[in-house]
Chain A
Amino acid sequence: MAFLQLEGLGKRYGDIDAVVATHLSVEKGEFVSLLGPSGCGKTTTLQMIAGFVEVSSGRILLDGRDITHAKPASRGLGVVFQSYALFPHMTVKDNVAFGLRMRKVANAELLQRVDRVLKLVRLDRHADRYPRELSGGQRQRVALARALVIEPPVLLLDEPLSNLDANLREEMQFEIRRIQREVGITTLMVTHDQSEALSISDRVVVMQAGRITQIDAPYTLYEHPRTEFISGFVGKANLLAGRRDSAGMVQACSPAEGELTLSLRPEKIDLCEVGSGRLQGTLTSRFFLGSQWLYGVSTRLGELCVVRRNDGSAPLVEGTAVGLDWDPALLRVLSADEVPA
């Protein structure tokens, strides 16, 4: 039996189904991300687990206990909000201590636990500051500390990094993962950022229009996206028409002959001499991404996107004729989207 289990969880707002009969099992200590575009129902799902949104159908089980209709206070889950939701009139220490005070923890133990968790998030030197005196990343840590100090069975993170700038976001991703590993807490994170979901989760749950469309480990999800939508939403993808040859191998072909939709990741395409390779094309655009070059190549199969490592050699210029090659085993067959995006 899984630690946190959603059984046919659903939410209706009037005529609109925000979340449709969702099944999900999260194991103890696991870090699971709910990934999807805005309005896909991922935040509603999290809010139902936290108890802020009434459940329309289905059940939520926590460690075998039915908490579907329990009050948020009695669930005892740790929640980190997108806006951090710190109490602006309390110091960092009082913010963190709030949950312990509600639990009537004795003062000596309270101070010790607050101190320990502030050390964990590396904010012990800012204990007496007010939230407005902290930077975005520090506020994020306070929110995390406040949720962790009550030692909740599950940590719920609602878009925890979306208010941070790019550099800090990356730093906090690793920080959240480090803390999660150190505490060993079961964590469910909602995000619309695929790189965030891929980099720190044990498993990623892709949601679309209120439904779960794929659940996999980050690597599997990236390498084997099930549908057209997922292949485009998780990482970049070239969509090609394809068919099976006489040996049963999948091959890319022109859209007219194709009966399958294939996905080919841009970094899996090799650039080679003109005349060699599987396909000929002309470079039409290039973008410099620092560690990589992103090339657009026009071919008879359509416009393809190719990523090359920046190995220090001179980049190709627009208008160059190139050959393209790839390992056909890396072509992925996609199934049609079953939900309207």
Chain B
Amino acid sequence: MKLIDAMRRGRQGYLMSAPALALYLGLLVIPLGLTLVLSFNVFDYSSGINGDAYTFEHYTSLLGDPYFYEIFLRTFWISALTTLLCVLIGVPEAYILSRMGAPWRSIFLILILTPLLISVVVRAFGWSLLLGADGLVNQALQAFGGAPVKLLYTPFAVVIALVHVMLPFMIIPVWTSLQKLDPAAEQAALSLGASQFTVIRKVVLPQIMPGVLSGTLIVFGLAASSFAIPGLLGGRRLKMVATLIYDQYLSELNWPMGAAIAVALLLLNLLIMLSWNRMIEGRYKKSLG
């Protein structure tokens, strides 16, 4: 213990955390700083980026153009809807999982986690095969005499694929907080006259709110910055912020504009997640310590 204390206080502590610090600086802080600087650089379509001149032009055009508003707004409602659906599906799923018997619980938990082993791109392609104009769903519809429906390149396709990809990130934190529950507390509530539904609403749910909160933060953050799924299932027409940034960098070659949008996405994401965290935690902090 003495050694650890000495290391914590002394120079050795810094020395030992240096590799992690270097990784953090090199892979996160420096690129972020560069992006921030880049977003203020002057860009001209004929001469490219001027690294010596600075301007607020990209931010003002971001603020002044309803086209950007629409994409930001779409990104956030799709992410919010994804988060909501993940809560509605993930929380009951985690609860049922926690009530399962010995062999089945592990089997289903692994089943829930295995999709994480498959690349998001592969899964997105899978959904596009299902939802495409002549995909499995439309073929089935036509076989039963229905008219084909446009599914791919709609918010529907993006949301359904996002929910599929994000669900484990909701289930795992909820599952973890369910593990801490005393099963006798549910029995106590039952013996005091509560119905099964009341037990879940008044006893289980309030106790797993920290897990639900972490889940919503992870899912919302990942969904709002997701790229592969909107790129493959939203296509050219249904743009989200991440695909917009990609276009700015690689089609328009307007790197400073792309950087400005990226910074704006980061800030907005941060703002939404922090205020959400504050709102929920404020309500449950006092009671859950």
Contacts and interface: CB of A to CB of B under 8 A. Distances in A.
Interface of A: 50-52, 71-73, 75-79, 81-83, 85-91, 98-99, 102-103, 130, 132, 143, 146, 150
A316 to B, nearest CB: 47
B190 A73 contact: yes
Contact residues of B: prevailing secondary structure: helix
A150 B287 contact: no
A66 B187 CA distance: 21
Contacts of B288: 88-89
Contacts of A85: 182, 184-185, 187-188
Query: 5 shortest A-B CB distances, which residue pairs?
Result: A85-B184, A99-B192, A102-B193, A85-B188, A89-B287
A77 B191 contact: yes
A146 B189 CA distance: 10
A30 to B, nearest CB: 21
B101 to A, nearest CB: 13
Given A83-B182, A132-B289, A88 B194 contact: no
Given A130-B289, A146-B192, A72 B187 contact: yes
Given A88-B207, A89-B287, A73 B193 contact: yes
22 contacts: A50-B187, A51-B191, A71-B190, A73-B190, A73-B191, A73-B192, A73-B194, A77-B191, A78-B191, A83-B182, A83-B184, A85-B182, A85-B185, A85-B187, A85-B188, A86-B188, A89-B287, A98-B192, A103-B193, A132-B289, A143-B188, A146-B188
Given A85-B182, A89-B287, A150 B193 contact: yes
A147 B202 CA distance: 18
Interface of B: 182, 184-185, 187-195, 198, 202-203, 206-207, 284, 287-289
Given A89-B206, A89-B207, A89-B287, A99 B193 contact: yes
B17 to A, nearest CB: 33
Given A81-B184, A85-B187, A89-B206, A73 B195 contact: yes
